[in-house]
Chain A
């Protein structure tokens, strides 16, 4: 009996399959710290991380930092995606725009968003502005690219069919254009979200008054590795939740896709 067959037999426990490896990791972590394999200062026990978590939750500190970070993420994403959408669509629809902006777009796309942190700090100082701008930049390019590709990819015959049936513009939009463009754009949004979150955390590690990244950096300065770990887990969790949420939206929308 192969391993796969054995697994199939155990299907009754299939709900356990996903979380099991993580639980095993947690178990290994507890074991390693309990047995003292690693110095306690280097690898903090899960219990201590949990305690730090509940402590910061109770004092409201965690919520404060988290809401600051998410707030910046939201504004930056809205700005970046709307600009990206507008730009990508216009690039796809207008040959002129494309020809004049394509090379610049491709070159600027290669500059990692975090590389812009020093220059933005020099111009805007260490306040909120530069962080929102960084997120905007991080979100802009994936969304613009996705919008461009999506609109470019609409098969020409869709418009033909529309013309033949003399469909009014609105119906054409709803029944034809949107279903074939929205899903890839949502994928682009998902990618942008992931990128933006990562970039924001890095920016906050460098310079901020509040935010998850700053919370981690301060924890490091205070030699509170448990606080740093809380930050690591939370940023991962947020990334996971955001990604999952977008995937759900994608899945629902892909039902919309014309076969």
Chain B
């Protein structure tokens, strides 16, 4: 008798646990969510995360936090370690752990193709440069020299797209190399120790050059402008549908931040705020040193043809290289409603309309 009771109890507890987890997975909010969570790239020094770019400015300005507080909503910044931004944020959107994210093009395409709906609500400029680095003692000067060699690149990160374009422009394919999937930090260490023959990554390439352990042999600076990778402010579609007013607040705050950054007189302060820990500010200055791209244009939130074309190409590349399995309509990735109002509310409309 006792045994049967124990057995029954076990079944009940088990079933209860399963149902509870299902309910938790669906996790709806109330009229207002308790907290609004924005994920952004963070560099960890010790245990403290440091945000960079527009999110850092948003946090500094404090406008968004104040507005949300008035409505009884907390603002939570979720750091995504730069070593795995894409997967971490995608998982965050998938399990409902974040509502907004400031991250790149390819991971967003991947997550949407994977069935989790997100929308770009504000753009973040004309793009970021990426670099091909080799160990300083290497004799390679072009990508063709590296044929058959080991190249470290973190797959499914935004810079895989410009890398693919580089290969294609030179008539090369992935199978012409040994591609090693490593996060940027590990990749840098591997270049230094000579374990790989090249690394494709972000501006941490400058760090390698400064330490004299690496040499940049190619970058998107010498490529057509739309080769640069893009980041936008993305929001989960479920959140947009449920809380459009809060979404508008975030969009406006973002545009305000971009407007502040785009002022030439704020450039120095911004570089100071936005340099990753352990890296000298000169690295950031060098990345932004580009005659072809005006400082204010670099921070334009507009979704123009430029942005749309970029995503059209990106979806094509991703599909052709089996990074995604089904096509998604690039136009459907944008939700422009909030941008217009944001430009109005922040008084920045004239600023970017006037400039190309």
Q: Do the two chains belong together in a single complex?
A: yes
Binding site for B on A (CB under 8 A): 3, 32, 37-43, 125-127, 207, 209, 214, 217-218, 220-225
Q: Give B351 Cβ to nearest chain A Cβ, in Å.
A: 36
CA distance A221 to B323 in the complex (A): 10
Known: A32-B22, A42-B95, A223-B111. Contact between A218 and B155, CB under 8 A? yes
Q: Which 10 A-B pairs have the closest CB atoms?
A: A125-B195, A37-B22, A221-B156, A41-B94, A223-B114, A38-B25, A41-B116, A223-B110, A222-B156, A221-B87
Choose from B110, B115, B180 the contact partner of A40 (Cβ within 8 Å): B115
B186 at the interface (CB under 8 A from A): yes
Binding site for A on B (CB under 8 A): 4, 7, 22, 25-26, 84, 86-87, 90, 94-96, 107, 110-111, 113-116, 154-157, 178-182, 186, 190, 193, 195, 323
CA distance A165 to B116 in the complex (A): 78
> Quick one: closest A residue to B116, CB to CB?
A41
> Quick one: closest B residue to A222, CB to CB?
B156
Can you show 30 pairs from A to B with CB atoms below 8 A apart? A3-B7, A32-B22, A37-B25, A37-B26, A39-B25, A39-B26, A39-B116, A40-B115, A41-B94, A41-B114, A41-B115, A42-B25, A42-B94, A125-B190, A126-B182, A207-B182, A207-B186, A209-B178, A209-B181, A221-B84, A221-B86, A221-B155, A221-B156, A221-B157, A222-B110, A223-B107, A223-B111, A223-B113, A223-B116, A225-B114
Known: A127-B195, A223-B114. Contact between A39 and B180, CB under 8 A? no
The reply to whether A224 and B195 contact each other, CB–CB distance below 8 Å, is: no
How many CB-defined contacts (below 8 Å) exist between A and B? Answer: 69
CA distance A127 to B115 in the complex (A): 35
Choose from A3, A38, A125, A217 the contact partner of B181 (Cβ within 8 Å): A217
Q: Give A209 Cβ to nearest chain B Cβ, in Å.
A: 5
CA distance A220 to B186 in the complex (A): 18
CA distance A225 to B84 in the complex (A): 16
CA distance A41 to B323 in the complex (A): 17
Q: Give A55 Cβ to nearest chain B Cβ, in Å.
A: 9
| Other A-B pairs, 14, CB within 8 Å; known A38-B26, A42-B95, A125-B193 | A32-B22, A37-B22, A39-B94, A39-B96, A41-B116, A42-B94, A126-B195, A207-B186, A209-B181, A221-B156, A221-B157, A222-B156, A223-B107, A223-B111
Known: A125-B190, A220-B87, A223-B114. Contact between A209 and B25, CB under 8 A? no
Interface centre among A125, A126, A214 (most CB of B within 10 A): A126
Known: A126-B180, A223-B114. Contact between A3 and B4, CB under 8 A? yes
CA distance A209 to B193 in the complex (A): 17
Interface centre among B107, B156, B323 (most CB of A within 10 A): B156
Q: Give A36 Cβ to nearest chain B Cβ, in Å.
A: 9
B116 contact set on A, CB distance < 8 A: 39, 41, 223
A222 contact set on B, CB distance < 8 A: 110, 155-156, 323
B107 contact set on A, CB distance < 8 A: 223
B190 contact set on A, CB distance < 8 A: 125-126
